[in-house]
Chain A
Amino acid sequence: MVKSNIITITVNAPKTIQPFSYSGPSKNPNIPDYQPLPIMPNLNFYSPGVTGFQLETVSSDGYYYYYRVTDPFYGGNGLYFGPNITLQFPVDYSDPIEVQNSINANNSAWQSFYNLWNGAYNANPQEYSGAETVISQVQSLVNQANSYIQSHAQQA
């Protein structure tokens, strides 16, 4: 019996990203704490005393991912996702061009977000396990934000 050389293989556990499930004070020093809402996602901008909410998730390698929603009537200016995504809310709902620009900006931001995460997920599905759920959740929020903008524009 002849034996070959020996080869050692290291098999690493996959890095997982949990769906957004936490609503509470920010762990990001660059984002101030906001009063959390108990249900997510919930874009109820008129909740008394609520000026926004923040959700976050953490990957198994220790990186946090955030998004934050603020009420435009309380001086907030949008929704943030990590360092890359900012959704825009209109300043003047009576201006149809501004409304449309805001929706376009949201969709553009969403597309960037989608390309980033979907690309990473497709390149390495094991490493980015859970990314498809995050993508789905943010897509839902973007759709709600655009519906919100559109409904206010119709009321204006």
Chain B
Amino acid sequence: MANITSNSITITVSDVPNSITLTASATSVTVGQTVTFSGTVLDPLGNGLSGVTVTLVDSTTGTTSTTKSGSGGAFSFNVTFNSAGTYTLYAEA
């Protein structure tokens, strides 16, 4: 009996961000000082995702900044605050 082979099916599994953790170098500063925000982008299995565009959103002023996650999914932003007040920030990808 001759062997037969079925059609082949290609499955593409995309690695998508599942979680982002954001930390800040300081949460209370003086006008003119810079705060470094850093974090990590992880996939559903907990592995770091590099090359993902991460956006830092200042929900108080509406300004955004973008960068790409690097090795291990790590990313970093610097923000200099020029006006007194309370700001809320988060990252998204």
Task: List residues of chain A with CB under 8 Å of any chain B CB.
Answer: 1-14, 124, 126-127
Known: A9-B27, A11-B30, A13-B31. A4 touches B86 (CB 8 A): no
Residue numbers in A under 8 Å from B39 (CB-CB)? 4
Distance, CA A12 to CA B87, complexed state (A): 11
| Of B18, B30, B37, B84, the contact of A7 (CB 8 Å cutoff) | B37
Q: Chain B at the A interface: mostly helix, strand, loop or mixed?
A: strand
Distance, CA A12 to CA B83, complexed state (A): 8
CB A14 to nearest CB in B, in angstroms, measures: 5
Contact string against A for B residues 13-51, beta-carbon threshold 8 Å, 1 for contact and 0 otherwise: 000011111111011111111010101010000000000
6 pairs of A and B residues whose beta carbons are closest in the complex: A4-B20, A4-B22, A4-B91, A13-B84, A11-B81, A9-B87
Known: A1-B92, A14-B30, A126-B30. A8 touches B86 (CB 8 A): yes
Q: How large is the interface on B (under 10, 10 to 19, 20 to 34, 35 or more residues)?
A: 20 to 34
Q: Chain A at the B interface: mostly helix, strand, loop or mixed?
A: loop
Residue numbers in A under 8 Å from B7 (CB-CB)? none
| Of B26, B32, B37, B93, the contact of A2 (CB 8 Å cutoff) | B93
| B30-88 at interface with A (beta carbon < 8 Å) | 30-33, 35, 37, 39, 41, 59, 81, 83-88
B28 contacts A7, CB within 8 Å? no
Residue numbers in A under 8 Å from B20 (CB-CB)? 2-4
A8 contacts B88, CB within 8 Å? yes
CB B45 to nearest CB in A, in angstroms, measures: 15
| Of A7, A8, A13, A126, the contact of B23 (CB 8 Å cutoff) | A7
Report the nearest B residue to A11, measured CB to CB: B81
Report the nearest B residue to A2, measured CB to CB: B17
Known: A2-B93, A4-B39, A126-B30. A11 touches B21 (CB 8 A): no
| Of A6, A10, A12, A127, the contact of B90 (CB 8 Å cutoff) | A6
CB B88 to nearest CB in A, in angstroms, measures: 5
Residue numbers in A under 8 Å from B26 (CB-CB)? 9
Report the nearest B residue to A5, measured CB to CB: B22
Residue numbers in B under 8 Å from A126 (CB-CB)? 30-33
A1 contacts B37, CB within 8 Å? no
Known: A7-B23, A8-B87. A2 touches B30 (CB 8 A): no
